[in-house]
Amino acid sequence: MAKARTVKKNGAVSVERYMVPVVRSTFQILAELSKVGSLGLNEVTKRTGVSKSTVFRVLTTLVELGYVVRDMDHKYYISHAVAALSSNVAQLELLRAVALPHMLKLRDEFKETVNLGHLQLDKVTYVEVVPSEFALRLQERPGSSVPAHASALGKCILAFSPPELAENLCRGRELPMLTRNTITDPGELMQELRRVHERGYAFDKGEASPMASCVAVPIMDAQDMALAAMSVSGPSSRFDPRKDSPVVESLLLAASDISKLLRGEIEGQLRRSF
């Protein structure tokens, strides 16, 4: 087995030793395919300088995963699945950009932290966080995540998604207990999601953190399914959202505006792409 090459530059060891050769080869291959459109096995080998056997294994793997297509002439080209990877990032950035002014307004109105999150498998990842200006505040940050079943954000997204999503989340596994208030029984969670769907918003009262309260609403797509969710959260000692509180009404109005703006932006992008 060849030893990883290390290069010292100005007394420091470069990252060369940590690079994975097959990963580098994969991106060399994708880069060549993106330049030309379609290439045969020998053409890819010649252009990249990667061994033919490695090129064949990488392309076979990418075809199996759906990122590359092999046509009847034994030519390879990149599939739409690769574009979808970047479009997901672009969609999240569009979501963040559209939601941020509304999040700032909500933070200024209620003085508490405002969160924007989307579902990734069984967790909600924060896309944007506008923190409270109080010294005592919650410490969420963009990129961090929380189990979907234990958060108002997650319950909102699950409640306004196809039922199979929540069913698959619960099937064959225990729901982790984060606090004594966390819903861990799958049947109880499904009942809670039905209540969330009926009223249009979700509460988290010490389910993810024993000292935090939160209320969230969904951000909807054109099919009335949740793209994401937005919440206002704060320490339970001073923040106690209820169904008739002003924060719920303001959240619902903001989410409705964001949903409409997002649909308009997405439709505009689609029209421009044709």
What pLDDT does 10 receive? 52
> Which class in CATH covers the domain with range 87-273?
alpha beta
Q: What global pTM score does this model have?
A: 0.67
Contact 159, 185 (CB under 8 A): no
Return the closest-CA partner of residue 231 out of 162, 177, 155, 143: 155
Show me where the domains of the chain are located.
15-78, 87-273
Topology of the domain comprising 15-78: Arc Repressor Mutant, subunit A (1.10.10)
Residue range 23-56, pLDDT digits in tens: 888 888 888 887 777 889 999 999 999 999 999 9
User: pLDDT band at residue 7, thresholds of 50, 70 and 90?
Assistant: very low
Q: Which residues contact 124 (CB under 8 A, 6 or more apart)?
A: 117, 118, 145, 146, 147, 148, 151, 153, 154, 157, 229
| Mean predicted lDDT score pLDDT of the chain | 83
